[in-house]
Chain A
Amino acid sequence: MTDVIDTLVGIAPGSKLDAIRANRSEARKHAQTSYSSLFEPADLAGVTADERHAIAAFVAGLHGEPRTDSFYAAKLPAGLRTAVAAEVAAAKSKGPYGRFPKGPLSVEDAPGPSWKTSPAGRKTLGARLPAAFEHTHMLVFHPRDAAAPALQSLLDAGWSTTDIVTISQLVSFLAYQIRVVAGLNTLASTL
């Protein structure tokens, strides 16, 4: 099976980075298993393949790491790809921001907006994805603003508790995968 991180970084068999990744062979293998469990599971359960890829393309677009961005965008049907790209353009921000619990840390508060899917996006993305995208934006840019009502919004949009676990893992895994790709690409450029 092709290793997505190796592919996106361009790690050739026998290269220096190939040897370095081989020292952490379990992490390499299970990062890939995480990918396949999220995007090619035996049972898609409550989250469709297009929904998984649309959320992934939104996350990758928000991060702006070019290789992962193209990789996930390419998995979408053209109409959905255009709709996701429009939301990415409107949603892109800087992070991490957000508030801390009230108290001594409040001096470090960096308040910022909760992003909302555009009216056009609400029409094209269907009933459930707009809420998932709004949650995703918070997870990507201001995760410390998370609170129970954000999860209620997902439940109200028709996602189940198990779907929320899957979506949360998908977004959070990508926060990892994209940084590994960016970091190893930088390391490769110095070898």
Chain B
Amino acid sequence: MTEKTLTPPPHTEPVVFTRDMLDWLPWIEPMAESDMTERHLASLVDASRVKSPYFRLLARDPDVLEARTRTDKDIFYNPEAGLPRAERELAAAATSRLNGCIYCASVHARFAATYSKRVDDVQRLLDEGVGTRLDERWDAIVAASVALTALPIAFGPTHIDRLRKVGLDDAAIADLIGAASFFNWANRLMLSLGEPATQG
């Protein structure tokens, strides 16, 4: 028998980009916690994610979920050298803003604001979009994320020159490439398997 998509419960859809906490409602059935084997549970990496319908849905292909999560964590959380955490998050937020992932943008705009303490600049990126002006360093990071996200991919040596001029070394540029590229992965899952909802 053909399966059917889920009808999410009544909720309010966010219609602007926001730093507020949002919920996410799946369009196809996540695994039931009671059906999850040791392998499924291990694929969550963080045990608390068993409460998340998003991760219980992705756990249907546990090997891919675990590899995805461990890639994600190293790109964003590894404190060793490279791009400061705030600016990895800025690249993630800018990519999500351009692709249109309101849920992803909310999470990573919060992180970017927390780590940079530049709440107004982060909010301006959400409100005005990736064409806004922040400062030369952040503009260079946003522009490089946009060029990597666009199709055809527009990222070229001029973006790298501009990043070097604002102080990014080779390791920082590689981190930016990793962060913006990773959100082209994350945005597509979040956008296509369910929808965001305002909390409360």
**Chain A interface (Cβ < 8 Å from any Cβ of B):** 16-17, 20-21, 23-27, 29-31, 33-34, 37-38, 41-42, 45, 62-65, 93-96, 98, 100-105, 108, 135, 138-141, 143-144, 146-152, 155-156, 158, 160-162, 164-166, 168-169, 171-173, 175-180, 182-184, 186-187, 189-191
Minimum Cβ distance to chain A for residue B138 (Å): 19
Which 9 residue pairs of A and B lie closest in terms of their CB atoms, listed nearest first? A144-B100, A103-B15, A183-B177, A26-B74, A179-B181, A27-B74, A176-B185, A37-B63, A146-B192
Residues of A within 8 A of B70 (CB): 26-27, 29-30, 33
Q: How far is the CA of A139 from the CA of B149 in the complex (A)?
A: 13
Question: Do A23 and B155 form a contact, CB below 8 Å, given A144-B101, A152-B4, A187-B173?
Answer: no
Interface residues of B in 105-150 (CB under 8 A from A): 129, 148-150
Q: Which residues of B contact A177 (CB under 8 A)?
A: 181
Given the complex of chains A and B, what is the CA–CA distance between A39 and B189 in angstroms? 18
Contacting residues, chain A, for B170 (C-beta < 8 A): 16, 20, 187, 191
User: Is B180 within 8 A of A179, CB to CB?
Assistant: yes
With A24-B74, A171-B188 known to touch, is A187 a contact of B174 (CB < 8 Å)? yes
Residues of B within 8 A of A165 (CB): 28, 57-58, 60-61, 193
Q: Select from chain B the residue with minimum beta-carbon distance to A109.
A: B100
* Residues of chain A contacted by B191 (CB below 8 angstroms): 143-144, 146
Name the A residues within 8 Å of B153 (CB-CB). 63, 65, 178-179, 182
Q: Within the complex, what minimum Cβ distance (angstroms) separates B74 from chain A? A: 4
The residue in chain A whose Cβ has the minimal distance to the Cβ of B151 is: A95
Q: Which of A143, A176, A186 sits near B157, CB closer than 8 Å? A: A186
In the complex, what residues of B have CB within 8 A of residue A172's CB? 184-186, 188-189
Residues on B facing A (Cβ under 8 Å) = 2-7, 13-17, 27-29, 57-58, 60-61, 63-68, 70-71, 73-75, 78, 80-82, 98-102, 129, 148-153, 155-157, 159-161, 170-171, 173-175, 177-178, 180-182, 184-189, 191-193
Given A165-B61, A171-B188, A23 and B80 touching (CB < 8 A)?
yes
Q: Is the CB of B151 within 8 A of A63?
A: yes
Q: Which residues of B contact A146 (CB under 8 A)?
A: 191-192
Known: A41-B63, A139-B192; 17 extra A-B contacts, CB below 8 A, are A23-B80, A34-B64, A37-B63, A94-B151, A100-B100, A101-B102, A105-B16, A143-B191, A143-B192, A144-B99, A146-B191, A164-B193, A166-B60, A166-B64, A168-B188, A169-B64, A182-B155
Contact A169 B15 (CB under 8 A): no
A-side contacts of B148, CB under 8 Å: 179, 182-183
